Structure formats: C-alpha cells, structure tokens
A and B are shown apart, each in its own frame.
Chain A
Amino acid sequence: MTVTTNSTTANVDVKVNQKLKEAYFTASQGQLIWTRFKKQTAAMVGAGVLIALILAGIFAPFLTPYDPTIDGRNKDYVYGAPNVPSFCDSNGCSLRPFIYSYNRTRSIKTNFRWVTEVDTDARRYLTFLPEGDKYELLGMTFTTHLFGVDTGKIHLFGTDSTGKDIFSRTFHAINTSLAVGTIGVFIAFVLALIIGGISGYYGGWIDSALQMMTDTVRTIPAIPLFMALAAFMPDTWSSETRFLFISMILGFVGWPTLARRVRTHLLTERNQEYVLAAQLCGASAGHVIRRHLLPSFTSYIIVDLIISFPYMVLSETALSFIGLGLKDPVNSLGVMLQNVTDPDVLLNYQWHFIPVLFFITLVLAFVFVGDGLRDAADPYADTKK
C-alpha cells in the first residue's frame, strides 16, 4: 500500500520534474531573465520603488493637490513649514486626518522673518477627490485631485521662496527628470547602435577610424562640453525648447560608452558559425545584423540602457544645478536641488531637502534594478557561483 503511494508520488515528482525541465529548456530569454531576476530581493525592491516613482511621475498632476508653477502658489504661506496630517491630538481623535490652522506674523520683533504659530485648536480636515487646479493627463482635462483640505491649502512638504507647494513640485520634477533621461538615453542608444554596430560588424580600418572618433569624444570632459553647448542656448528660448535641447545634448554626449559595448558584443559574435551560415546563404549585412546579431544581445542592451539612465538624470541635475540646464518654470530634480544651496534655506528652511531624498531614491532604484538585471541576463550566473 505504502509502496504504491510512494511510487505514484515519485511518478508525479518525475512528471513535475519533467515539466519543469521542459519549461526550462523551452523558456524564452525573457522568461529566464525574469526567473533569475525574481530571486534577487534587492533588485525586486528596487523595481517596486522604481515603478512606484514612475507612476508617481506620470500621474503627478492627479496625485498632487496644486499646480507646481507660479499659478498654484500660496502667497500667504511663503517659506512655510510642512503640514503633517494626524489622526489624534489632545482634543480627541477623528477618523479623518486633519492639519492645524496657523497664524503668521512678521514684525521687527521677529527680525522681519515670517514666524508661524500653529493653532492647535483649529482643525482643518483633509478632503478626498476635491476639485482644484485644471490639469491635462493622457490628453484629457481634469480638475479632480487625489486630496486637498477643506479650508486653505495643504503643503505636505512645505513651500518654497515663492510659496509654491514643494510636494507638487517634487512629483512633477520626477516626471521631467525621467523624460529628460528617456530622450537622452534614446538618442544615445540610436547613435551607439549605429556607430558601434558598423564598427563591430565590419572591423578592420572602419573599426579603427570609428574607435578613434569615439575615443576623441570620450576625451573631452562632458561637463565643460555641456556648459559650452548650454552657453550657446539663447536666453529667449522657452523652457520647453530648453528642455528638449538639454535632453538632446545629453544624448549626443552620452553615446560612446554604449557604442563601445555594442562593438565589443558584435566583435565576439560575428565570428560565430550561425553568422557564417547566414552569410553563406547570401544574407545582406543589414539582414545579418538585424535578424541574427541584434537578438543575440538584446538583453545586454536593455541592461546597459537601464544602467546608463541614472547617469543621464545625474548629468541633468548637475547641469541644472550650475544654472545652465533647465530653469525655474520647469520643475526638474536638478532645479529643486539648486534651491538647497541658498545659505538661508540651508540653515532655516530644511524641508527643501525633501526632494533630495526622492532624487537619491530614484537613482538608487535605477542602479539596483540595473545591477539585478545585469546579473539576471548573464546565462552563466548560476553555474559560476
């Protein structure tokens, strides 16, 4: 009796094993990478945070209560401290979170600095899905925001020197920084694919000449290059044009590293038998590159793209930080970081540092995901350890 049950379970086991093996051997490259990626806790956490931040960036107008530009400013609450919602206080609890009212005074006694007194007796309750500033999302116009407050305005991260809501600005800034990064990475990627592809596939003197060109571009320090190009940008350009131009500059400067990698991959792959077979069948160079060589390292390219993303974001930040990148009406993380260098802000209004935390989280999330993907895309990762 026991023997038979054992053998049936063993049979089932074998079948399950067989199925697993079958699944393993027939799995596509993507499925294999995903299976290995799932095993890495750090990378999975990074991916979760990253997706949350991307969604937060895309849906920023809905998630945040106010317009991030000067139109949405609260002129009665300049340099205002963050309002922290709470459920309970000495006057009892409430199911709806509330914030307190405040009185602001400025006189010779306070050295002409705004001093805020929180009035703990006057509660202001949070409201959900209130109507507010108009915004556009996915091509439609909405006025509903996720949350607001019944009287006055709520500033979760405080306000800046002109009374703009830092919470709203931060979320919109994530969106802008991601957009700059995406355009930059895309341009760099196309250039890298063309230049690296030609140089790796043909080799010989074409390779040497292109390599020399790549090295020349790599020799010029990027920030001075950015600065010279940005100095060329007339002041009269609108913030949208500047935004586009900056992203393009980032792309045009960032291609050499990617191009080198594409070239190295191609150089090793092009001597494989399957390429020779295709060539013997009379396939053209373009066909061989497109149909045979590119698929052989798509995963590496995706990984490289994700790894180069934070560098784009960092470059944009550095550029905006020295005042040559994006400027105030546009909200990018670099513009937000620029604010914290003001000694007054540094010593008195530390809530300007909150966007910095978002910035660090964003870069860290990208780096973790990129690293995890790199390990997952390496088919020999399991056998090595």
Chain B
Amino acid sequence: MQFFRFALTRAFLAIVTLIMVSLIVFSLMELVPGDCAERYLAFKSSQGGAITIADIDAERVRLGLDRPYMVRWGSWIVNAFQGEFGNSCILRVNIAQLLGDKFWISLWICLVSLLVAYMIAIPIGIISATSKSPWLNNSLRLVSYLGLALPNFLLALMIMLFSTVYFGDTLTGLFSKEFRDAAWSFERVMDFLSRAWLPVFILAWSATAFAIQTVRALMSDEVGKLYVTAAAARGVSGRRLLWRYPARHSLGPIINSLGFDLNRIFNELPIVALILTLTEAGSLLIEALALSNDQQLAGAIIFMLTASIVAINFVTDIILALTDPRVRRSILG
C-alpha cells in the first residue's frame, strides 16, 4: 500500500516536472524571432503571392497566436499530452505525421547506444577500480579520456573519410535508397540494422568514456569500505566478492542517472545526424532550430524527448525502490 503511495507521488512529481519543462520549452520557442504566421506568409510570398500586414494578422487569428501567452501554453500542453502537436510552421503538415516513426528510431538509437556503453563500461570500470596494475589502469584511463577529448563529430568525419576512400561507400543515411520510403518489413529492418550500427557506435563512443569514469569513481569509493573487508575476511573472494558486495551498491546511482545519460546522448545525436545525414528526429530538430526556425516542430521534438527522459527517471526510481532495500526502507519507514 505504502509502495503504491510512493509510486503515485513519484508519478505526480514526474507530471509536475513535465509541465514545468513544457513551460520552459514553450518559452524558448517563443524566444525564436518571428512567429508561425509570419513564417508561413513569408513562404507564400516567396511563391509569388503578394501579402499585406492584414494577411499576417488574419493568419495569426487563424492560428490562435493573438491569444495571451499563458492561454496558448495551456492549450499547447493539453494537446501535447494527447500526442497532438499541431502543424509544422514551414511544411504545413501535421507534426505527428511528419515525425512518424522518426522520433522512435532516434530514441532507439540512443537507448541502444546507452546499453552498449554500459555493457562495456561496467566490467571495465570495475576492473579499473580494483586492479592493482598501474599499466592496465593508465591505459584504460587514456582510452576513456580519448573518448572525451575526441568529439563525436570528428570521429564520425574520420570514419566517413576512411570508408569513402577504402570502401567507396559513405555509410551515411539510415536506409538504402530502395528502402527509404518503403513500409516496415523484414528486409527493411535488416537494411536499417546494417546502417544504424555506425551512429550507435559513434554515440556509444563518448558515452562509454563517460560511463567508465562514473563506474570507476563509484566503485573505488565502495571497495575500500569495511563491509567489503568483512566479506573478504569471511572467505568470499574474486569475482564473487566484487559482484555481490561493492558492485551492487555502486550500481544504484548509475540506474538512478540513466535518464540524464539518455539526455546527454540525445544531445549529441543532432550533430552526428548532421554529418551522417541521418533522416530522423535529431536532424529534423537541427533543421527546425538552426535553419528554418520552425518553432512548432522543434518544440514537439524537445517535448517528446523530455517526456521520455522523465518517464525513464520515473521507471528507474520505481526499479530502485523495488530492488534496493535501503531505498525501500527509507520510503516505507
């Protein structure tokens, strides 16, 4: 019962956070110069029609842009929770239709990168925190530092250059030509997988470096503690000792920060997408923000992303409460 109350509080807090985030995102989109009406009519005039101030005002009324700020935010957020983001300012297409599965593709790319990063980082981080060999330690450190120092876009560029020169294929895009607009089928999935490994690899590259550092720091804090010594004195040793005692403790904070890790990976997606000319939400976002100033589209993508992060944070909170007896006790009293 108490657990349900905890879950409910968390869910409530998550929704409050999401509403606050939506206000920030909405305000940010307002900061972008010009509004939807101006942009649409500017597009129209470039098509040869003459427009007047009155036209712009009429368009504003039609789009509801003449209403007060808070009212517009209210209607935006209510629609957003129903998955309805209105039309794109420039392309005049419904955003849900425009995004299609692109957002989910992006989210999956990021999630898989995160998974890959931790699958590599957890064993390596534990080894690096517990090994006594300075040589192993230093080389692991250097590798993980290189992951930080070599920015994703440079890595992407170098891989592209290499593959163009040696394989004659730029490895760009997410689909081959024949599958670009095809419906989802087994072949399309296989084609997607044969190309998606590159963005996943590039995103996982720096994420791994970061994760190794976190795991190493948390682990080296725990291995020196008395309960580990006590366990060792009882005769537990080797891998069993590490996995059952310090590793379990140090992985708690990592589960807790998964949502923010996803945030960091998604951060880098637009830049990688720009170089690899991926056709997913990251590149749509960069196009909407940097090139066409499409507030509606950009707002929708950022909102969906933050909603995913908040959702992941909520799930990890619940998982942590279920698995970690310390957290459980602090909630249930």
Contacts of B290 in A (CB 8 A): 227, 231, 322-324
Contacts of B145 in A (CB 8 A): 364, 367-368
- The answer to whether B151 and A314 touch across the interface, beta carbons within 8 angstroms, is yes
Tally chain B residues at the interface, Cβ within 8 Å. 50
User: For the complex, what is the distance from the CA of A225 to the CA of B146, rounded to whole Å?
Assistant: 26
Contacts of A231 in B (CB 8 A): 31-33, 289-290, 293
User: For the complex, what is the distance from the CA of A323 to the CA of B275, rounded to whole Å?
Assistant: 13
Contacts of A232 in B (CB 8 A): 31-33
Nearest CB of chain B from residue A66's CB, rounded to whole Å: 26
Q: Using an 8 Å CB-CB cutoff, how does the interface string of A287-328 with B read, 1 for contact, 0 for none?
A: 000000000000000000000001000100110011110000
User: For the complex, what is the distance from the CA of A224 to the CA of B151, rounded to whole Å?
Assistant: 17
Q: Which residue of B has the minimal Cβ distance to A224?
A: B302
Nearest CB of chain A from residue B265's CB, rounded to whole Å: 9
Nearest CB of chain B from residue A298's CB, rounded to whole Å: 20
Contacts of A337 in B (CB 8 A): 151, 153-154
Q: Is B63 at the interface (CB under 8 A from chain A)?
A: no
Which of B250-266 touch A at CB < 8 Å?
259-260, 263-264, 266
Q: Is A228 at the interface (CB under 8 A from chain B)?
A: yes
Surface stretch bound by A, among B18-26, B112-120, B174-182? B18-26
- The answer to whether A322 and B17 touch across the interface, beta carbons within 8 angstroms, is no
Surface stretch bound by B, among A3-11, A129-137, A198-206, A210-218? A210-218
- CB-CB under 8 A for A219 and B309, given A321-B271, A322-B286: yes
User: For the complex, what is the distance from the CA of A220 to the CA of B20, rounded to whole Å?
Assistant: 11
Q: Is B268 at the interface (CB under 8 A from chain A)?
A: yes
Identify B157's interface contact among A224, A340, A360, A364, CB under 8 A.
A340
Contacts of B203 in A (CB 8 A): none
Q: Using an 8 Å CB-CB cutoff, how does the interface string of A342-385 with B read, 1 for contact, 0 for none?
A: 00001100000000100110011001100100000000100010
- The answer to whether A224 and B270 touch across the interface, beta carbons within 8 angstroms, is yes
- CB-CB under 8 A for A216 and B148, given A322-B290, A384-B224: no
User: For the complex, what is the distance from the CA of A220 to the CA of B302, rounded to whole Å?
Assistant: 8
- The answer to whether A42 and B266 touch across the interface, beta carbons within 8 angstroms, is no
User: For the complex, what is the distance from the CA of A367 to the CA of B212, rounded to whole Å?
Assistant: 14
Contacts of A364 in B (CB 8 A): 145-146, 149
User: For the complex, what is the distance from the CA of A235 to the CA of B293, rounded to whole Å?
Assistant: 14
- CB-CB under 8 A for A212 and B17, given A314-B151, A340-B157: yes
- CB-CB under 8 A for A216 and B32, given A227-B290, A322-B290, A364-B145: no
User: For the complex, what is the distance from the CA of A288 to the CA of B145, rounded to whole Å?
Assistant: 38
- The answer to whether A229 and B157 touch across the interface, beta carbons within 8 angstroms, is no
Q: Is B306 at the interface (CB under 8 A from chain A)?
A: yes
- The answer to whether B267 and A341 touch across the interface, beta carbons within 8 angstroms, is no
- CB-CB under 8 A for A341 and B31, given A228-B289, A363-B148: no
Nearest CB of chain B from residue A383's CB, rounded to whole Å: 8
User: For the complex, what is the distance from the CA of A224 to the CA of B21, rounded to whole Å?
Assistant: 13
- The answer to whether A341 and B21 touch across the interface, beta carbons within 8 angstroms, is no
Identify A42's interface contact among B138, B224, B264, B267, CB under 8 A.
B138
Contacts of B224 in A (CB 8 A): 380, 384
Q: Is A221 at the interface (CB under 8 A from chain B)?
A: yes
User: For the complex, what is the distance from the CA of A360 to the CA of B154, rounded to whole Å?
Assistant: 11
User: For the complex, what is the distance from the CA of A307 to the CA of B96, rounded to whole Å?
Assistant: 41
User: For the complex, what is the distance from the CA of A347 to the CA of B274, rounded to whole Å?
Assistant: 19
Nearest CB of chain B from residue A83's CB, rounded to whole Å: 25
Nearest CB of chain B from residue A223's CB, rounded to whole Å: 4
Nearest CB of chain A from residue B192's CB, rounded to whole Å: 24
- The answer to whether A223 and B268 touch across the interface, beta carbons within 8 angstroms, is yes
Q: Is B159 at the interface (CB under 8 A from chain A)?
A: no
Identify A223's interface contact among B25, B31, B260, B267, CB under 8 A.
B267
Contacts of A229 in B (CB 8 A): 28, 31
Seen from chain A, the residues whose Cβ lies within 8 Å of a Cβ on chain B are: 42, 212-213, 215-225, 227-229, 231-232, 234, 310, 314, 317-318, 321-324, 337, 340-341, 346-347, 356, 359-360, 363-364, 367-368, 371, 380, 384
Known: A220-B24, A314-B151, A367-B149. 7 other contacts (CB 8 A): A212-B13, A220-B306, A221-B305, A228-B31, A228-B32, A229-B28, A341-B275
